[in-house]
Structures are given as C-alpha cells and as structure tokens.
Amino acid sequence: MRVAVIGAGHMGRYHAEKFARLPGVELAAVVDRDPARAQVSDFRKIPGKVDAAVIAVPTNLHHEVARACLEKGMHVLIEKPIAATLAEADDLVELAAQRKVVLQVGHVQRYSNAFQALARRVDKALYIDAERLAGFKQRGAEVDVILDLMIHDLDLALSLARSEVEEVSACGFHVLTGEIDIASARVEFASGCVADLTASRVSQAVVRKFRVFQPGLYASADLQGGKLRYVRQAAGVIEETEEVHAGGDALTAQAESFILAITKNHPVLVDGAEGRRVLKLALDIGRLVRERLERFA
C-alpha cells in the first residue's frame, strides 16, 4: 500500500513516522510546499504513484487537496476538521462515495485506549463535562479555538451521546488573535444528555478533563495519562475504582484502521459523514459566539 503524506508540518511529520513503520505500507512520498521538508513540493504530481493520501495541510486547503486526491481514486485520511465549510465537507463525502474510496477524518482521540475503555462502560450518558485548555501556539491559529481544540471534545461527546443535537448555546471571546480564543458551549441532545464544553488556547496551564455521568455511574477520564476513575453506588456503599490504560499509540491505531479499511474493508470509525456532523456542530457554536460578540460589541 503506497501512501503519501501531504503537509510536512507538525502533524504531517508524525503521520509520516507512523505510516513508515506499518507493515505492508510504503511511505511513497512526503509533500510540502517547502522543499527543505519534503521530496515533492506539489501534491498534483503524486496521483498514479500512490494508493492513498494523508492530508495534514492547513484547514483552508483541506477541500482543494482532498478533492484532487479523491478525483484520482485515492483513499484519503484527512486531519480534523474535514473541511472549512459544510458545503466543502458535503462535496468530499459525495465524491468519496462516487469513487468508492475510503474517506476517514483524523479525530485521533477516538482511538485512545482510555477513551475506548470509557465508551465501553458508558451506555446512557446523561451529562458530559469537558475542559481542554492550552497555552497559545501559532500553529492552528488560522482557525478559531472551536475548530482547533474544542472539536476534539465535540467529537467525543457526540460519540457518547449517541443522539441528535437539539439545542446549542455558546459564548466566547477574542484574546490574542482576531479569532475566538476561548469558548464555552452547552449542547443538549434529543436523548436528554447535556454536554458542557470549554476550550481555551490562552491558558497558562494545560488542562485535559473529561467527565461522564450516567445512572449509577460517574466516570472521570485523564485521556492523556490513560487513567480512568469510576464512582458508583453498590448496596448503599460508594465504590471507587481506577483503571490505567497505559501504552498504546492513538495515532498509530488510527493509521492501522485506515489501512484495514482499505485492504480488508473494515468499518471506518470516523468517516466523512461523521466528520461532517462534528464540523456542523463546531460551526454552529462558532456562529453563536460571533453573534453574541456582535450583539454586545
């Protein structure tokens, strides 16, 4: 399986390392506009030379690059978010279906051992609480904090709620950039589940908190450390248990799943339609934040 990585920036380099180590896979090309970082400078030169492409270019270029690859019958793994707009996402999903190729979206945290263990325990989420705070980095600043950071937890919340979104409210602010740098959203689902999510890229400390409540169970997840803590009541006694899901490599697991989807027709955990669903929610939150900022400007 000949694979090209398009975009040799921060994530692209990681993708190249993971695919280069997979058995049965040849990292046939690394593409970047900067010739110092890659063998190929124009992605238009790779069709016919590779079977699949991993796209790790800036979000505003996702549609252009992915469309060119899909049109040539290449399978595509594209970094989150799937595209910059819903129209672009719809175009990619439709094109992948027409060409009968795999379109997978890189919501990598779905592949963490800890989250998968959590998802197996949660069957009726009532309340989800997530915080994702980070210091400012120029990388990713071409989009707002919702598409940059919150979208990770939006994807996880959607996968656990297993229900359609009914209502969304949100607020947020500009701090260091012209885009939204800190945001908070409440998402209410048809099932009755509610998710409160906060994301910031102007924090002094890195925080990753993810909590889920369901009847009879409270779960707290440290997805970075691979630690889960469960609290439940049994026969009138409060029981606390901890699990450690050490090891594992979510990015490698994602790469392996992409190859298996192509070669063995395995189900795609986050396909184009799922990536589009997450994008719609993220864009709705961004719109609500901007409307609020304009109202109180």
Pairing of strands 75-79, 165-173: unpaired
Q: Is residue 256 part of a domain?
A: no
Q: Are residues 46 and 116 in the same domain?
A: no
Which pLDDT score, from 0 to 100, does residue 35 have? 85
Q: Are residues 221 and 153 in the same domain?
A: yes
Q: Are residues 173 and 82 in the same domain?
A: no
* Own/partner long-range contacts of 115-119 (Cβ < 8 Å, ≥24 apart): 115/156, 115/221, 115/223, 117/228, 117/243, 117/245, 118/160, 118/210, 118/212, 118/219, 118/221, 118/228, 119/159, 119/160
Pairing of strands 2-6, 52-55: parallel
Q: Looking at 49, 68, 101, which one is the last position of a domain?
A: 101
Selection from 106, 145, 138, 50 nearest residue 257 by Cα: 106
Q: Is residue 125 part of a domain?
A: yes
Q: Looking at 101, 121, 151, which one is the last position of a domain?
A: 101
Helix (H, G, I), strand (E, B) or coil at 11: helix
Q: Is residue 131 part of a domain?
A: yes
Q: Half-sphere exposure of 291 toward its Cβ, with a 13 Å CA cutoff?
A: 8
Rg of the Cα trace of the chain?
A: 20
Q: Is residue 263 part of a domain?
A: no
CATH of the domain at 158: 3.30.360.10
Q: Are residues 88 and 121 in the same domain?
A: no
Q: Are residues 190 and 227 in the same domain?
A: yes
Which pLDDT score, from 0 to 100, does residue 246 have? 77
Alpha carbon 176 to chain centroid distance? 24
Q: Are residues 115 and 63 in the same domain?
A: no
- The phi, psi pair for 170, rounded to 5°, reads -160, 155
Helix (H, G, I), strand (E, B) or coil at 236: coil
Pairing of strands 194-200, 127-133: parallel
- The phi, psi pair for 226, rounded to 5°, reads 70, 30
Q: Are residues 115 and 192 in the same domain?
A: yes
Which pLDDT score, from 0 to 100, does residue 57 have? 95
Q: Is residue 261 part of a domain?
A: no
Q: Are residues 160 and 59 in the same domain?
A: no
Q: Is residue 272 part of a domain?
A: no
Q: Are residues 290 and 148 in the same domain?
A: yes
CA–CA distance from 124 to each of 104, 160, 186, 210 (Å)?
27, 8, 18, 16
Q: Is residue 237 part of a domain?
A: yes
Total domain count, the chain: 2
- pLDDT per residue rounded down to tens, the chain (297 residues): 999 999 999 999 999 999 999 999 999 999 999 988 888 999 999 988 999 999 999 999 999 999 999 999 999 999 999 999 999 999 999 999 999 999 999 999 999 999 999 999 999 999 999 999 988 776 656 789 999 999 999 999 999 999 999 999 999 999 988 889 999 999 999 999 999 999 999 988 888 899 999 999 999 998 878 899 999 988 889 999 999 987 779 999 999 999 999 999 999 999 999 999 999 999 999 999 999 999 987
Beta bridge partners of 30: 5
Q: Are residues 127 and 182 in the same domain?
A: yes
- Strands of 145-193 (E only): list them: 165-173, 182-189
CB 210 within 8 A of CB 152: no
Q: Where are the alpha helices (DSSP H) in the chain?
A: 10-21, 62-71, 86-99, 113-121, 145, 151-161, 250-263, 272-295
Q: Are residues 216 and 91 in the same domain?
A: no
CB 96 within 8 A of CB 105: no
Q: Is residue 142 part of a domain?
A: yes
Q: Are residues 90 and 145 in the same domain?
A: no
Pairing of strands 207-214, 127-133: antiparallel
Q: Looking at 54, 72, 101, which one is the last position of a domain?
A: 101
Domain span including residue 65: 2-101
Which pLDDT score, from 0 to 100, does residue 139 have? 62
CATH of the domain at 79: 3.40.50.720
CB 27 within 8 A of CB 19: yes
